[in-house]
Chain A
């Protein structure tokens, strides 16, 4: 499944490249290249499938806030008053909402309300990519599901398709909500109104050999690495611990694992 899907994307990508390369010359930094080119670019990523393990035993409300803040400040994710317009890449959910398929009425209060971190799962078989009519949402060869903000038409089909609620829509110009209209991190692009966005597994940091911001801020609660490399740290953690994934029965193949 994985192989066929990727090679299909590759073929689709290559054949579309000729047609659209000219109309999509929107490079913003190295990692914000049009989707067809970004699907496989040895320069930016050497892994085969990036993944993350979240040790929920180490999570606290304070730590979650710190992690989310680090991500959102560095990615210019605005804080919006109106709940309807909310944008978030990584955020806290109670256990019962993060793992809707594990209902248990006899669970201890603490467990049911345990603070879990949720973010895009960078699914191996991502329904959001399948739904997107413009390939603005696409999957790279290293497994990361990314967005081309210059191509997105804002149809929000990907939001309906994602079974995890990982995606946010810019219901208004995000720059209006930034202090003096200035982004908190000038190195990272801001978005326009009318496009969808979500966690990018810090593709811009992986490109320069760094761990994602959330991992860096997590005090060891988050482990990141190449799932396809048997000797990687993440594989070691997965071997030593029992982990679960959100709604794995849907066949999406989430790349984010949870130790509970």
Chain B
């Protein structure tokens, strides 16, 4: 089936070439980091995780978001999703690939990455995260591939694939839960030390993942002859509505607990993020933008006429995606380190090189999505023809 990715229109190849060029430039940037060390980034002794780990966290959510197609179809027999579950599975593959690349980019000694397996340490959450992420990657590759193969040959998919699919559903929840456990079990990091973190991660994931999927659906509809179906997209919009409301609700729960109890160690991070500390205000405009985007998206989403209108869908999805991205991809990780353990405020801003490497990883993810979606849609076109 891979050969399907090797024939395409001029635009297809231009797009691939563009992505490759970005990846190549970013890779040179990475070589610089490899040479010098992580000192080329904006991270420090105080803010020891930055942009890479934040993107990783956000993308685990996008990967888990694919389950919002799989679950209704396989557990509730919701037929409209049947033809596009493959898009969710392949998006998950690309997202997990990016997650693993971000982890690798963040390691001080990437050559030793396999030590996590050689010296397996079950009381470290990072060990479990490595396990569940790689497992999820494998599951989605196998499931996606086998389903597509069956569709092409017009035969029913093998029976055992069904069990893998059932397994992949709780697994999707698992990857984001374990990712939240990386942070929420650390004593002395008040911003993360909250049981609502995993549910909040999941809620924002089920908003961000499906909104990206809808955007991809629009692109697929535009550049191929395969139509993901209006009904499927409308249902996804409904899922986004619930998820986004849950996300904001969980955030408000956190805000209430923190500000009503007024325990400084928990309160000061949120204060820093939304109001800054003295002249340290780097994230303030971003956090308010995120709040504004999420809240106004909710207003638009709860009105069925707007939510179901294909004209508005892409805009709402962009609002949701950007809003949740800022919340997780910018505020969540840096915010946990400011103020630091000594309660001093040392801000973090990513360097241009760090951003370039980040863009490179995203380009790699887009390349994977493009190739996988190309194969999937072409097979669907042929079957439909």
Contact = CB atoms under 8 A, between A and B. Distances in A.
A131 B182 CA distance: 9
5 smallest A-B Cβ distances: which pairs? A154-B108, A163-B188, A194-B108, A171-B39, A165-B341
Interface in B337-352: 337, 340-344
Interface in A160-180: 160-165, 168-173
B282 interface: no
A86 B115 contact: no
Contacts of A250: 187-188
Q: Which of B115, B123, B340 has the most CB of A within 10 A?
A: B115
A103 B267 CA distance: 15
B277 to A, nearest CB: 14
B126 interface: yes
Nearest to B333: A160
A170 B37 contact: yes
A124 to B, nearest CB: 13
Interface string B318-362: 000000000000000000110011111000000000000000000
B48 A127 contact: no
A209 interface: no
Classify chain B's interface size.
35 or more
Contact of A100 (B109, B113, B183, B343): B343
B119 A151 contact: yes
Classify chain A's interface size.
35 or more
Contacts of A196: 108
Contacts of B121: 12, 132-135
A73 interface: no
The secondary-structure label for the interface of chain A is: loop
A163 B43 contact: no
A127 B183 CA distance: 12
Given A133-B115, A161-B186, A171-B43, 11 more contacts: A20-B118, A84-B42, A98-B342, A100-B265, A118-B342, A127-B187, A131-B125, A133-B121, A133-B124, A135-B121, A161-B187
Nearest to A100: B343
A195 B109 contact: yes
A23 interface: yes
A103 B265 CA distance: 12
